Structure 1
Amino acid sequence: MSTAETVTRLDFSSDEFLADPWPIYKELRKSDPVHWSRAFKAFLITKNEDVVAALADRRVVSGFPMRSSRRLFGPTLLDADGPSHRELRAMFMPLFKGAAVRRLRTEVLVPAVDQVLDSISAELGSAGQVEIDFMERVAVGVPYAMVTRLFGLPPEDAAWLRPRVLPLAGAIEFPPTSLDTALAAKAELIDYLVVALADRRPSDRLTLLDLLFPPDRPVDRSLLGTATLFLLAGTETSVATIGKIMYAVLAHGVELAALADDEFRQQVIRETLRWEPPSHTILRYAASDITIRGVDIPRRSALLLSLGSASRDEDVFVDPDSWRPGRPEQRMLAFSAGPHTCLGIQLALAEFDTLFERMSLRFGGVRRSGALDGIRPGFWRLRERGHVFRRPDRLPVVLERRGDAEGIGSDV
């Protein structure tokens, strides 16, 4: 089937799209940048200029009563607009502003990363190497080790949390999985959080639960939906991103030792977030009649703003399909833009930076292992799934011990 035919019957869950969406996006940007999708009953916006403008346009809103996230989580920061949205964001700023993130790097991120890397180092054995599924052991392990500490929950509960967080991600995917299954998982998470709140002890460190539910006040149960949303937001997007960064490093032959350089490591992270963003689409609604590129969009229409397509727009990025750390075009949409820019952007970037810095100090090298699909000679790609949370299922790698005796441990 040609790319043009695929565009006509656009299906985010099709094997063709999941394998390689980029030619489809390119065709849309060229021939139909404001594409009406009958399947989704929504306008798909693919040009960078239009996506950025829509994210800043007050006529384009996040809140809508029948939005799947609203039905799942209730009223939250995700689907609030205007003053109520600014008020909710202000509530969380003490935990996500610069000085707080610097403290969290020491108190939360480093212990979370070291917990995961210590368990892998212990398996190196006499051969000085260990084969792991990077997705399961690291890309999943680190965000869940981080979010339990951020919430003030026992880190050992991470394995229990993920099977209950995944249905929440599925319910807001394209196409969505069962809302009933997600609601049942959310109920389990709320029961768990209620017990955690009842059992919490005084701490010197401000946690996300403390912000939402100050210890000196009765628990506001209306905010429990927001707490479950933060469990999702703090984990599954990071799972996808960490997997994509390692994929980019391996696919382009970057030595693990090169990531010890702070500037280069941060360039690698930012370029990967442009080249392979973890979330490809953001859902918005037209609060009034609007026109984009001559296409009239009626009030209450759904808009799918394609961060994935906008991140490879040839009118903004030179050679956009190439992965080029340090490229001069620094615009990044992986964390959205405008009033709804991800609240945890600085913490997320610090999480990725901490992980790959400490991996570069802990291990002597990393190489891929097992059979992976070839995309062209000398290159390979991952099998991926998801659209809102686009991630590889598996990434088998071999990690090697450093050559300098015992290497760098968790006391760095």
Structure 2
Amino acid sequence: MPGIGTVDNPAALLAKPHWYRNLPAEADVHRLGDGLFAVTGNAAVQEALAHPDIVAEHPLKASARAFGPNVLDADGPNHRAFRSLLAPILSAGRIAEYKQRLMPGLISPLVDSIAGIEADDFYNSFAHKVPYGIVCTILGIDASLEDRFHELTRPLARLLDYPTEETDQTHANVAELLRLIEQQRAARTADGQSLLETIERTRDRKGISLTDSEVRSTALLFFLAGTETSSAFITSLVYCMGRSIFDLDELRDNAVRDDFIEEVLRLYPPVQTIVRFASEDLTVQGVDVPRHSAVLTSIAGANRDPRVFDNPDRFRTGRSLKGSIPFAVGAHACPGAMLAKTEFSLLIEKLAERCSDIVITRDRTGTESQSFAHPTNFSVEFRTK
């Protein structure tokens, strides 16, 4: 029966990427200390993420201080207003356009650059190239600034991670990125089709009460979340392809490719831990959680719950994925999931066409980060036909 567990040293526990593994298996909700709870079981995580009184907004959150009002740190009507601004650029029709006109020109050069080589740091050297190219184009950012945006953005991931790392430099990076975005917007480099211009038109047409500053902050967070989660997950995809789970030629089939992506998402959700806050006294799975408590929901734990998935640590396509929540659930579920899956599918398709084999040549089975998690300490060889 799900219940509550306790731990003696929460700081040491949470320093581990797979911290949920070290909590009592018989409990789904764990009190880690005064005002700090962790939720790990699948049903409990889904309940917590969908609970109306477990919210994202908190005035002391590092991301809220750095970006101001934004889509990630808002709830209720404000959150719905922010998300409605993103809807036009994440519609099925717009994503089909990206797949046809934008993604091939970014994915083919990446595949060309890695074909025939062995990479010992795929994440830092290659994984960012496609997602940064996609989001820069959507934002209307000149391609010549892509490396600069990558340099400024990568440290900001720690503002969204747990535990958070906030420095004067991260605030300076946010200010510089917002300056560059505004500069590009003013230049109108995308002929009225950039993210900023699209969401500004949507705001004005719908009469949404958001300032230009709030729109730019949401655009920047869209950039950050879209690039860093995709970079992390592309690394996980390549890692699983390199573990020789099955022949690359099988991945040319759309259905097989979709199953592969969904199973990698279950095992390696790019966001492993989501931090929320109790706005009122409440219960999760019958456990009392006092008002103002921080609630750490473990997507990774939910996706490897043995009560939901047989042999949950084993990679197995074709299994039922009911209960897999790699993009979270509830009001804050990832709005870019369809765009991300389209990007991942096309990348795998091009890799399968170009490479005869993808092989992990060195593997220390490490995992980095909580919010943008991915395998680390491995080398991968892209063998050509």
TM-score, reference length from structure 1: 0.84
Counterpart pick for 1:25 among 20, 30, 33: 20
Separation in 2 of the partners of 1:29 and 1:345? Answer: 32
CA positional deviation for 1:214 = 4.3
Aligned to 1:190: 178
Give CA deviations for 1:9-38 in whole Å, capped at 9, x if unaligned: 243564xx24xx2xx524525244211223
Query: Aligned pair 1:103/2:97, yes or no?
Result: yes
Counterpart pick for 1:266 among 249, 253, 258: 258
Separation in 2 of the partners of 1:236 and 1:110? Answer: 20
Over 3 Å counting, the alpha-carbon distance change for 1:155 and 1:396 in structure 2 is farther
Aligned to 2:74: 80
The residue type equivalent to 2:182 in the other structure is: V
Over 3 Å counting, the alpha-carbon distance change for 1:55 and 1:6 in structure 2 is closer
Aligned to 1:390: 373
Aligned to 1:124: none
Residue pairs, 1:239-318, within 5 angstroms: 239-318=231-310
Over 3 Å counting, the alpha-carbon distance change for 1:347 and 1:75 in structure 2 is same
CA positional deviation for 1:265 = 0.9
The residue type equivalent to 1:303 in the other structure is: V
Query: Aligned pair 1:63/2:50, yes or no?
Result: no
Aligned to 1:125: none
CA positional deviation for 1:77 = 1.1
Please give the secondary structure, in 2, of the residue aligned with 1:317. Answer: coil
The residue type equivalent to 2:228 in the other structure is: E
Please give the secondary structure, in 2, of the residue aligned with 1:285. Answer: strand
Gaps of 5+ in 2: 205-210
Q: CA RMSD in A?
A: 2.5
The residue type equivalent to 1:193 in the other structure is: I
Instruction: Show structure 1 runs of 4+ deviating over 6 A.
Output: none
Counterpart pick for 1:220 among 200, 208, 212: 212
Aligned to 2:9: 9
Separation in 2 of the partners of 1:77 and 1:201? Answer: 25
Residue pairs, 1:146-225, within 5 angstroms: 146-201=134-189, 203=191, 206-214=193-201, 220-225=212-217
Counterpart pick for 2:31 among 28, 36, 45: 36
CA positional deviation for 1:216 = 12
**Bigger shift: residues 352-361 or 40-49:** 40-49
The residue type equivalent to 1:398 in the other structure is: E
Aligned to 1:372: 363
Does the 8 Å CA contact 1:116/1:141 hold for their aligned counterparts?
Answer: yes
Does the 8 Å CA contact 1:281/1:306 hold for their aligned counterparts?
Answer: yes
The residue type equivalent to 1:194 in the other structure is: E
Please give the secondary structure, in 2, of the residue aligned with 1:397. Answer: strand
Does the 8 Å CA contact 1:274/1:334 hold for their aligned counterparts?
Answer: yes
Aligned to 2:122: 134
Give CA deviations for 1:353-384 in whole Å, capped at 9, x if unaligned: 11111111122221123x322xxxxxxx2x22
Over 3 Å counting, the alpha-carbon distance change for 1:296 and 1:72 in structure 2 is same
Percent sequence identity is: 32
CA positional deviation for 1:8 = 3.4
The residue type equivalent to 2:198 in the other structure is: L
Over 3 Å counting, the alpha-carbon distance change for 1:215 and 1:44 in structure 2 is closer
Give CA deviations for 1:32-53 in whole Å, capped at 9, x if unaligned: 4211223x95200111111111
CA positional deviation for 1:394 = 5.0
The residue type equivalent to 1:99 in the other structure is: G
Query: Aligned pair 1:339/2:356, yes or no?
Result: no
The residue type equivalent to 1:9 in the other structure is: N
Separation in 2 of the partners of 1:48 and 1:154? Answer: 42
Separation in 1 of the partners of 2:350 and 2:244? Answer: 20
**Bigger shift: residues 263-272 or 194-203:** 194-203
Aligned to 2:382: 399
Does the 8 Å CA contact 2:6/2:32 hold for their aligned counterparts?
Answer: no
Please give the secondary structure, in 2, of the residue aligned with 1:367. Answer: strand
Does the 8 Å CA contact 1:167/1:177 hold for their aligned counterparts?
Answer: no
Please give the secondary structure, in 2, of the residue aligned with 1:79. Answer: coil
Separation in 2 of the partners of 1:44 and 1:64? Answer: 17
Does the 8 Å CA contact 1:384/1:392 hold for their aligned counterparts?
Answer: yes
CA positional deviation for 1:240 = 0.9
CA positional deviation for 1:199 = 1.5
Does the 8 Å CA contact 1:12/1:174 hold for their aligned counterparts?
Answer: no
Separation in 2 of the partners of 1:251 and 1:401? Answer: 17
Separation in 2 of the partners of 1:277 and 1:384? Answer: 12
Over 3 Å counting, the alpha-carbon distance change for 1:361 and 1:239 in structure 2 is same
Does the 8 Å CA contact 2:232/2:372 hold for their aligned counterparts?
Answer: yes
TM-score, reference length from structure 2: 0.90
Please give the secondary structure, in 2, of the residue aligned with 1:282. Answer: strand
CA positional deviation for 1:60 = 1.5
Residue pairs, 1:85-96, within 5 angstroms: 85-96=79-90
Does the 8 Å CA contact 2:42/2:323 hold for their aligned counterparts?
Answer: no
Please give the secondary structure, in 1, of the residue aligned with 2:234. Answer: helix
Please give the secondary structure, in 1, of the residue aligned with 2:23. Answer: helix
Does the 8 Å CA contact 1:257/1:365 hold for their aligned counterparts?
Answer: no
Separation in 1 of the partners of 2:218 and 2:52? Answer: 24
